[in-house]
Chains A and B, each alone.
Chain A
């Protein structure tokens, strides 16, 4: 089946630094990727929709200058958490949809646990 690779799996950083998370579709092309944030034992909160070759669409309340999204190719989207602070600590997970199919299902990456000290 389709595989989405996400890395790093976990990262610890100091407050004020920036962290980049990569999401790659390994065996399919994805014109659209989605970035979610998940707190322990809670749901997946959609942060933004990443569109290949164009600007990302952010959900209400998500700071676009804080969470920079780049979707430079059909297989890669990146999320950069800029000037990270402890409140940004969370589990970030990406997902992608195979552009070849009309099926709406999402393939998820394994997620990135971010801890900001």
Chain B
């Protein structure tokens, strides 16, 4: 079936270091989304990527969608303690359809 794999499962960094999480789908996606879930909270939408090879930036966050629309990455430059949480990618296969979530990457930042 449709699967979305995400690595690493955990990442511990020193404040100021960079962080990257990777997402890989077994099938071609129509779109990929990224969510952040703070400890004890619910997932909050960060961004959606639709186009092949698309790159989007939000301040220190850079999101990429692969050329084949099967993989994606989220890169955070110079992490801060406020970046702590679990980052999930979620792949969609058709307009209005369900999203399949990756396993998530839990980021901890040591001040």
Contact = CB atoms under 8 A, between A and B. Distances in A.
Interface of A: 32, 34, 36, 41-46, 49, 60, 93, 95, 97, 102-111
A29 to B, nearest CB: 14
Contacts of B96: 32, 97, 104
B51 to A, nearest CB: 13
Interface in B80-100: 86, 88, 90, 92, 95-96, 98-100
10 contacts: A32-B96, A41-B86, A42-B103, A43-B6, A44-B101, A45-B101, A46-B100, A103-B48, A107-B45, A108-B42
Interface residues of B, number: 25
Interface of B: 1, 6, 31, 33, 35, 41-45, 48, 86, 88, 90, 92, 95-96, 98-104, 106
A32 to B, nearest CB: 7
A109 B106 contact: no
B101 A43 contact: yes
Given A97-B96, A106-B90, A108-B42, 15 more contacts: A32-B96, A41-B86, A41-B106, A42-B104, A43-B101, A44-B88, A46-B98, A46-B100, A46-B101, A104-B33, A104-B92, A104-B95, A106-B35, A106-B45, A106-B99
